[in-house]
A and B are shown apart, each in its own frame.
Chain A
Amino acid sequence: MPLPFVLTPNYLSLASQIAITALFALSLDLILGYAGIVSLGHAAFFGLGAYTAGIISTYGWGEPLSGLVIGAAVAGLVGYGASFVIAHFRHLALIMITLGMGLLLHEAANSASWLTGGADGLQGVNIWPLFGAFKFDLWGRTAYVYSLVVLFLIFLAARRLIHSPFGLSLRGIRENPLRMPAIGAPSRAHLREIYTIAAVIAGVAGALLAQTTSTVSLEVLSFQRSADVLVVLILGGAGRLYGGILGAIIYMVARDQFSGVNPQYWYFWIGLLLVAVVIFLPNGILGGLARLRATWRRAAS
């Protein structure tokens, strides 16, 4: 943990970004890895959190913690509304609806440039120092500790959630959606709950991004971002809670190293990686490790 402090500011900001991406991936893991909802539009909530936190500050209120809460609340509210639709669909229709909703929000933000700054991005974002004392500066120390603490707290909360009876019922819904109502579990309500929770967490991640970088652009709502977080989660392994963190570390570090060389070809290697992961490591890296461990145990006995 103290290690990044001795690294250059460049790496500190990368570390903050990794924490934010990990948080975002964690939120996706809750709906994808545990409840089985495939979403191609999850960036919608990330973007909502980011824009809300950013817009509030342009209107004069730049206090970070309250901005975080408000951003998360807005994302959660929209997620709650959307969850009523989401819980009714599966397979291709669900994928398309999540994709469509993400695209809709992106287009809306693009058109509402009076509010969002449109393609130029949000102007005039001004975040006050955290607790009145710690400024968000170019050194990135405040940003790093802030993001990390938020990630840690939410991770703990998510872990409690997953190990609760609610978490178990989610896995039941994922494995056998027909059986759950038959044993009396209110699966639609559960799906709505977890979708809302995931939206809140994604909103927190987005707000963190807006506050630590003092910029918000349309990219936070893009399909690209939804696809990227999906890749991050699958890389690490969905349904294991730590997968998002692992995936985020590997993905962001690799991207930092490679995209310096040539940004376009980065996507070639990501594509190849995706194909390889699906064919050889369907449960991500953590899944592969788990399989290895199981094989060793069997060999030892």
Chain B
Amino acid sequence: MLGPIVGVLFDGLAYGMLLFLLSVGLSVTLGMMNFINLAHLSFGMLGGYVTVTLMDGLGWPFLATLPVAFVAGAVASLVLERVLFRRAYRASDLDQCLLTIGIVFMSVAAAAYIYGTVQQPVQLPSYLTGSVTFLSVNFALYRLFLIATALVITGVLVAALEWTRFGAQVRAAVDNQRMARGLGISVDGVFAIAFALGSGLAGLGGALAIAMVGLDPAFAFAYLVYVLIVVSVGGLGTIWGSFVAATLLGISDMAGKYYIPELGSFLIYLVMVGLLMWRPAGLFGRR
């Protein structure tokens, strides 16, 4: 009786944690610069493909590829930010959407060109495969690993935000950009670093996603919708918002698919539209 519910909660939590890793960067950068970056998951996809290339091509162990996926996402975003995104900070919502959608198109086509359109298989190390059984419920080891990693990262992020100087600058820039500049905080510099960190996390998320939801060139588009839902429901510029929204979304998606499969994703979209109508700034948002 309890089994399926706990199972759904567990899987939903794991899925939610994955979504959190993929979304938190977008939430913070949106809150800070109001820059609508629809290409956020292209960095995620990049991280995933980096992991695949390192593991298949160079034989690296899975865990060792994760930091590289992070760095790849961070570096790619730094380059793109410098070269392209900078020019669009003052542009309209629409222009930012179009610019970043263009980047997504290009990245999806490039991924299809280099890797083909098939799902990328990944061979997990043996200590991450299989499951443990606790109170007669099966807990997949990989999902435990995913949840644990995400929780550790959340802890690090929150700690950094609260107790480091950089975190204070980020919070200042999100709260009131003009004031922060007036106080001498280099908002552009802070933003570039926050952007890089967020994209790095997306890259990490992309690498971790392979064993959970798969990886193919459509990843940047398919999960973009979910990430956007997390960000708009959770609120812009808030880590907790993303965390709660991602967990909610992950669990309701799993529960919906398990208990009412005919509805499919309908429930999620309905919840999102309803929540946004009730709170347009998101659950934890400010404006």
Contacts and interface: CB of A to CB of B under 8 A. Distances in A.
Interface of A: 32, 38, 40, 85, 88-89, 91-93, 95-97, 99-101, 103-104, 107-108, 110-111, 223, 227, 230-231, 234, 264-268, 270-275, 277-279, 282
A103 B225 contact: yes
30 contacts: A40-B97, A88-B277, A92-B30, A92-B36, A93-B232, A95-B36, A96-B229, A96-B232, A97-B277, A101-B273, A104-B266, A104-B273, A107-B264, A107-B266, A108-B266, A111-B263, A264-B112, A265-B109, A267-B105, A268-B109, A268-B110, A271-B101, A271-B102, A272-B102, A274-B105, A275-B103, A278-B95, A278-B102, A279-B84, A282-B95
Contacts, number: 116
Interface size on B, as a range, is 35 or more
Given A270-B105, A274-B101, A103 B276 contact: no
Contacts of A266: 109
A272 B270 CA distance: 34
A279 B36 CA distance: 15
Interface string B238-270: 000000000000000000000000111110011
Given A107-B266, A264-B112, A278-B88, A95 B105 contact: no
Contact of B99 (A95, A107, A279): A279
A292 to B, nearest CB: 20
B75 interface: no
B67 interface: no
Contacts of B24: none
B209 interface: no
A97 B276 contact: yes
Given A103-B269, A107-B266, A278-B95, A267 B109 contact: yes
B113 A265 contact: yes
B132 interface: no
B68 interface: no
Contacts of A270: 102, 105
A38 B36 CA distance: 13
Most A-side CB within 10 Å, residue of B94, B97, B113, B281:
B94
B280 interface: yes
User: 7 tightest A-B contacts by CB?
Assistant: A271-B105, A274-B102, A268-B109, A271-B106, A93-B280, A275-B102, A271-B102
A100 B113 contact: no
B276 A100 contact: yes
A278 B99 contact: yes
A138 B109 CA distance: 33
Interface of B: 30, 36, 84, 87-88, 91, 93-95, 97-99, 101-110, 112-113, 117, 225, 228-229, 232, 236, 262-266, 269-270, 272-273, 276-277, 280-281
Contact of B265 (A89, A107, A265): A107
A91 B99 contact: no
A85 B277 contact: yes
A103 B105 CA distance: 19
A133 to B, nearest CB: 44
B229 A111 contact: no
Given A95-B97, A111-B263, A111-B266, A272 B276 contact: no
A100 B87 contact: no
B87 A32 contact: no
A262 to B, nearest CB: 9
A27 to B, nearest CB: 16
Contacts of B108: 267
A94 to B, nearest CB: 9
Contacts of A278: 88, 91, 95, 98-99, 102
A264 to B, nearest CB: 5
Given A97-B277, A234-B98, A278-B88, A272 B225 contact: no
A267 B42 CA distance: 14
A274 B98 contact: yes
B245 to A, nearest CB: 12
Contact of A268 (B91, B93, B106): B106
B91 A111 contact: no
Nearest to A85: B277
A92 B103 contact: no
Contact of B101 (A32, A227, A264, A268): A227
A49 to B, nearest CB: 21
Contacts of A282: 91, 95
Contact of B281 (A93, A107, A272, A274): A93
Given A271-B109, A279-B88, 20 more contacts: A88-B277, A88-B280, A92-B30, A96-B229, A99-B225, A100-B269, A100-B276, A111-B266, A223-B225, A231-B98, A234-B98, A264-B113, A266-B109, A268-B110, A271-B103, A274-B98, A274-B105, A275-B106, A277-B98, A278-B88
A172 to B, nearest CB: 17
